[in-house]
Amino acid sequence: MAIVGLKMVTFALVDPVTQQLLKGEDGLSADGLYQVDTKDMGSKTANITGLVGSSTKRYGNNVSQQVTYGAAAPSIAYDSLNLDFDIKQKIKGFVSDGKGGWTPSDPAHIAMLIETQSLSGSSIYFGFGNATAVESEANVQTNDDNKQIVDDALTISALDTIAFGHKPFKLYNSADTGFDQPTMLKEVFGGYVAATGTGTSTGTGN
């Protein structure tokens, strides 16, 4: 199945031990979820690698008979056009001094849901229930005849996720007859349940 575009990226902070969603002051919002939408000018790329581990051939009778694969170790090269400053620092695990300053600390544990689409328009989701994010460089440039805009670039490394049976990621297809968006959100975002009378839109869900 081909995939088309990058429709939505949603982040949350989770407890590093229980992998349960953090909300309010401890999280990224009142309900814990943060969608990178028009207020952030959206997401540009979320390039996922490492969905399959390295391969090893096994030989018998002088020919290759089997290929085994190591554990998946997904990494996401994420690029946002204008991610909220405070949100980005929290995702990286930086600590605020309450006076506008942020210092590095232990990496935060985050959950991430990437939504793309199939050619038919159904939503395809890549869920990462436990990961860490780093910003390894800041390429500050002088303006010339044009503004030199540097995007928000994060490298996100997926870890073992309890809700996925101790796998680092899970795929979802909204076109599947058994697909249930609340269940997906609960799995990816550490027990998330939408408040009564509200909902978190992660796309069309066609």
Q: Which residues contact 146 (CB under 8 A, 6 or more apart)?
A: none
How do residues 96-144 score in pLDDT, each as one tens digit?
Answer: 999 999 999 999 999 999 999 999 999 999 999 999 999 998 888 899 9
pLDDT at 202: 58
Rounded Cα distance between 49 and 17, Å, is: 25
- What pLDDT shows up at residue 204? 42
Distance of CA 187 to the CA centre of its chain: 13
Question: How much is the CA Rg of the chain, to the nearest whole Å?
Answer: 19
Residue 60 vs residues 55, 67, 70, 195: alpha-carbon distances, Å: 17, 12, 20, 58
Average pLDDT of the residues of the chain? 93
pLDDT at 195: 81
How does residue 1 score in pLDDT terms, banded at 50, 70 and 90? confident
State percent of the chain over pLDDT 70: 95
Average pLDDT over residues 157-183: 97
Mean of the pLDDT values across residues 170-197? Answer: 94
Q: Closest Cα to residue 116, out of 178, 193, 171?
A: 171
pLDDT at 66 over 80: yes
Does 17 score more than 60 pLDDT?
yes
Burial 72-92 (b: 16+ CB within 10 A, else e): eebbbebbbeebbeebbbbbb
Count other C-beta atoms under 10 Å from residue 204's C-beta: 12
pLDDT of residue 2: 92
Per-residue pLDDT band at 199 (split at 50, 70, 90): low
Please check the confidence at residue 29 and state whether its pLDDT lies above 70: yes
pLDDT band at 194 (very low <50, low <70, confident <90, very high): confident
Q: Say how many C-beta atoms besides its own lie within 10 A of residue 111's C-beta.
A: 27
Q: Of all helices (H) and strands (E), which one includes residue 124?
A: strand 123-134
pTM value is 0.91
pLDDT digits (tens, 9 = 90+) for 32-52: 999 999 999 999 999 999 999
Name the token pair of 143: 């303006």
Six token digits for residue 61: 């009778």
Phi, psi of 94 (to 5 degrees): -70, 155
Q: How far apart are CA 116 and CA 76, in angstroms?
A: 14
